[in-house]
Amino acid sequence: MDDLRYQIDLLTALNQKLNNNERMYKLICETSKRAFIYINYINNTVKMVGKWEDYIDFRIDEAAEITRLLDIFTEKERGEIRRLLFIEKEGKDEQSYEAELRDEKTWVKLRVNIYRDEFGVLTDKIIAIENVTKLHNHRDELTYLAYYDNMTNLYNRNYFITKLKNFVEMAESEKKIVSVMLIDIDDFHKISDSRGIVMGDEVIQNFGLFLNDLTENYVIGSRFDSDIFCLAIYDPCGHRSVETIYKSIKEFLSHPIRLTDMTDVPITVSIGVAEFPEASDNALQLINCAEIVMLKAKEAGKNNLKFFDSSILNNFLRDVSLENKLKEAIFGEKFFMNFQPQFYTESGKIRGVEALIRWRDRDGTFISPSLFIPIAEKNGAIVPIGDFVLEESIKAHMNWKMKFDFPMILSVNISSIQYNRQDFVPKVIALISKYNMKPEELELEITESVLIDDFKSVISKMMELRDYGIKVSLDDFGTGFSSLSYLKGLPIDTLKIDKSFIDNITTDNASWIIAETIISMSKRLGFETVAEGVETREQYEKLKEISCDLIQGFYLGHPMEAKMIEELLIRNI
């Protein structure tokens, strides 16, 4: 009897222990926020544990009913879910899969584990389901950040390049064309400076979203930089041709962009187009070529589109080569000075010289200033070059003064970049003092482009120079931004008539009338007039007839070295 009671007590204790364990496992399952289905094939029992009420409103009581789980997934997921629920048919014991539920907002991870006995007979199956929506969304966010620009929804630069490489590879095998359009908003920095960063971003966003609307399977877009965008078109034709897309862009920009503060911002764009395989068979090089022609479009006046051709690339490579040589030349003292004399028209006596920089390359060839000066202005090298010209020409001038004591004017060209520097006027005055030069013997030549940026500041510097005694000359008058209206307010001493008028003065009546008008007007305003590029006696006589004060050109004197100027001075003394 005691033995039977002991066994009953033992069974009761074991049963209590099992109940406690079951309760513990149940609490663990519920705390984990997962849901489990446990199937025991030996006893043919099914047990559901965990948060199933979050996913379904029914129970599964038999192993055959697990297919009811298919109903909670989207239709496109059901084939993969069915395979996963019966992975034992494929001989697999464990597998998981992430799928979307029917509400198209919830993502779950479904895991199935199979257990077998020592003979390989199926004994148990556990199906676990877990809500991974937050993780999935976070992963989507990371993916988005890795591939997209969050302001415009276009591809970011890195992913765009990857996609462009795919386009190029596909086009190579299918013998198709890939067009790359690099698009830059003209003068965007002015918009950002005047409207502020936030409004500037709004302009970018509006234009970027418009470009995004143009994208499709064979047209991809990217925001490349702050205000630079890129489109790549596979097999451009029909509605996705470069011309059609450009027309759409022009139509969109024909109206100002309306900002949230209800103000309008008009913008224009410059576009460069390069195509595979004509420009390059490399994705990165295609973009580079498109950038080169985009910059050419800007140089041509902005608000236009240019296509790549080999001459543009050759010129670009030439400029890059020149830029590298230019750096060497500045430090290697490869520059030297020439001087072109100016003569009084009536007497034929020398009035002075214009200083002209020259560059002899390492191989002995001469590089034209028309090639290297624009490059120097772009990369800032014009400042040390300008300093060199000013000091070397003043030194030469003072050397002639010491030898001949001849009254003459030294004219020196000043670039707009050089002139607009804050230290320009003090630097000029310091050089005059250093070499004991009379200020009235120095004439600084500026072009009309100087007047564009900050007219008041330019005038202020002119006044400061003239107050010190230095002469100021307006060079190349009659080209670019000429305006008769501003002449009356300019504190200048000399007006130089551009060569383009002088070339045809003997054959074209309009050129003759314009030159005569400029000279007559200048005299009334109290300016001296210099005619540039006088190459024939006929031109000289015509200019003498209309009382032009000064002559400069090949007819009376080529640019020459300092020693030849000395010989000229000897003849004039």
For domain 325-572, say whether CATH 3.20.20.450 is its number.
yes
CA Rg value for the chain: 41
Q: 107 pLDDT exceeds 90?
A: no
Which pLDDT value is given to residue 5? 60
Which pLDDT value is given to residue 50? 82
Which pLDDT value is given to residue 103? 73
Strands of 449-501 (E only): list them.
Answer: 471-477, 494-497
C-beta neighbour count of 254 within 10 angstroms = 8
Q: Collect all residues with Cβ–Cβ distance below 8 Å to 452 and sequence separation of at least 6.
A: 481
Quick: pLDDT tens for 291-346.
Answer: 989 988 998 889 999 998 877 767 777 777 777 777 777 765 678 999 999 999 99
> What average pLDDT does the structure give for the chain?
86
> Of the given ranges (40-44, 363-367, 449-453), which has the lowest mean pLDDT?
449-453
> Of the given ranges (35-44, 225-234, 403-412), which has the lowest mean pLDDT?
35-44
Quick: pLDDT tens for 424-443.
Answer: 999 999 999 999 999 999 99
Say yes or no: do domains 32-136 and 148-308 share a fold: no
Q: Hey, what are 127's tokens?
A: 């199906």
More confident residue, 479 or 310: 310
Residue 187 near residue 200 (C-beta atoms within 8 A): no
Domain boundaries, the chain: 32-136, 148-308, 325-572
Matching residue, tokens 């007219």:
455
Quick: pLDDT tens for 230-248.
Answer: 999 999 998 999 999 999 9
> Of the given ranges (72-81, 268-277, 383-392), which has the lowest mean pLDDT?
72-81
Architecture of the CATH domain 148-308? 2-Layer Sandwich (3.30)
- Please give the share of the chain, as a percent, with pLDDT higher than 70: 89
Residue 281 near residue 167 (C-beta atoms within 8 A): no
Nearest to 268 by CA among 216, 190, 213, 198: 190
Q: 458 pLDDT exceeds 90?
A: no
Distance CA 222, CA 156 (A): 5
Any idea which fold 32-136 has?
Answer: Beta-Lactamase (3.30.450)
More confident residue, 145 or 261: 261
Distance CA 378, CA 393 (A): 24
Mean pLDDT of 52-70: 84
Threshold 0.75, pTM exceeds: no
Q: How confident is the model at residue 398 (pLDDT cuts 50, 70, 90)?
A: very high
Mean pLDDT of 472-486: 70
Matching residue, tokens 């100021």:
472
Q: 536 pLDDT exceeds 60?
A: yes
Q: 559 pLDDT exceeds 90?
A: yes
Distance CA 26, CA 349 (A): 113
Which pLDDT value is given to residue 144? 63
Q: How confident is the model at residue 194 (pLDDT cuts 50, 70, 90)?
A: confident
> Of the given ranges (43-47, 94-98, 120-124, 290-294), which has the lowest mean pLDDT?
94-98
Which pLDDT value is given to residue 18? 46
